[in-house]
Chain A
Amino acid sequence: MSTLAAERVAEMFVEFADTLVVEFDLVEFLQMVTTRASELVGSAAAGLLLADPQGQLQFMAASDERTELLELFQVQSHEGPCQDCFRRAAPVVNADLRDAADRWPQFAPRAVAAGFRSVHAFPMRLRQDVIGALNLFGTDVGRMETGDVRTVQALADVATIGLLQERTVRKGEVLTEQLQGALNSRIIVEQAKGAIAQMRSCNVDEAFTLLRGYCRDHNLRLSDVARAVVTDPRPIPGLTAA
């Protein structure tokens, strides 16, 4: 990994700021943050986990949502770099997965089997609290430089701001309600994936591609369309009906 091009970093933050001033979809915004984080450091995949009101980490968004990657994020509600990062409120960087079987007996072998070699995790900080973690996976053991660590941490902070921004707009909810609300919007997307898979006779990953494509083509928010799919029995031409 090389030190990040300053110009690219600046562009990215302009893009985030642009999104945050208008009405935006939280799941899509967080997917954008993970995608940019992944591109920036040349990692193979990035994901984001949020703490639920019980303090357990739950998957929220990723640059790549294939089922086996989702499982790699979800297993970290029990153990793994995000769990360590969350508990210690500090980044976990440059962990070599082949040497991590003792540290993370459940997580490390799965990550290696999925083709990854290195992993990093950055805390999503809010004042004294850590509310989640940004997770990056690499296919080689290249070390992340100090400057890059700082930039990726800034991306994790942007994700936190986006989360609070979207929820604050809704009303004066307390933090745990905000986090639960964010996780709920993610759950509806999963339910919609299942419903679309059943209606279109495809698998859930293909269903997600259909859902995202439909939202982009019609300039609609992912959460709104997902909610319509699971609550409104009327068929949606081009999505739930051919």
Chain B
Amino acid sequence: LAADAPANALALATIGVEHTLESRFGLYQAQGMVSIQLGVPLTEAMARLRAHTYAHDRTLGAEARDIVTRTLSLQADNR
């Protein structure tokens, strides 16, 4: 199984990441990342993540996923 890990991950990705997989964990991981990106406490990091999501008319799950996969960083917004 371990040797197949990257292929498995890809297979899961192609099945589609729908609402059910808008995992709470992705959100918490993104919160931790944003906290470091902006140098702010966790509560503020979540507020900033929500604000960015709202401002760009997205869902929190999609936003969190982009943060965790490094497609998106809130660091630039801070400058």
Contacts and interface: CB of A to CB of B under 8 A. Distances in A.
A109 B8 contact: no
A140 to B, nearest CB: 11
Given A67-B9, A109-B15, A110-B15, A194 B21 contact: no
Contacts of A59: 25
Contacts of A199: 36
A74 interface: yes
B32 A195 contact: yes
Nearest to A74: B23
A193 B33 CA distance: 8
Contact of A74 (B1, B4, B24, B31): B24
Contacts of B39: 233
A190 B20 contact: no
Given A68-B8, A75-B21, A139-B1, A194 B32 contact: yes
Interface in A158-214: 187, 190-199, 204
B21 A114 contact: no
Given A70-B25, A74-B24, A115-B4, A198 B11 contact: no
Nearest to B28: A190
A230 interface: yes
Contact of B15 (A45, A78, A113, A190): A113
B20 A75 contact: yes
A193 B29 contact: yes
A44 interface: yes
Given A106-B20, A190-B28, A190-B32, 6 more contacts: A74-B24, A115-B1, A190-B25, A192-B32, A193-B32, A197-B32
Interface of A: 44-45, 58-59, 66-68, 70-71, 74-75, 78, 106, 109-110, 113-115, 139, 187, 190-199, 204, 229-231, 233
Interface of B: 1, 4-5, 8-9, 11-12, 15, 18, 20-21, 23-25, 28-37, 39, 41-42, 68
21 contacts: A70-B23, A70-B25, A71-B21, A74-B24, A75-B21, A106-B18, A106-B20, A109-B15, A110-B12, A113-B11, A114-B8, A114-B11, A139-B1, A190-B29, A194-B29, A195-B35, A197-B32, A198-B37, A204-B29, A230-B32, A230-B42
The 8 closest A-B pairs by CB, nearest first: A194-B32, A194-B29, A190-B28, A195-B32, A198-B36, A191-B32, A113-B11, A194-B33
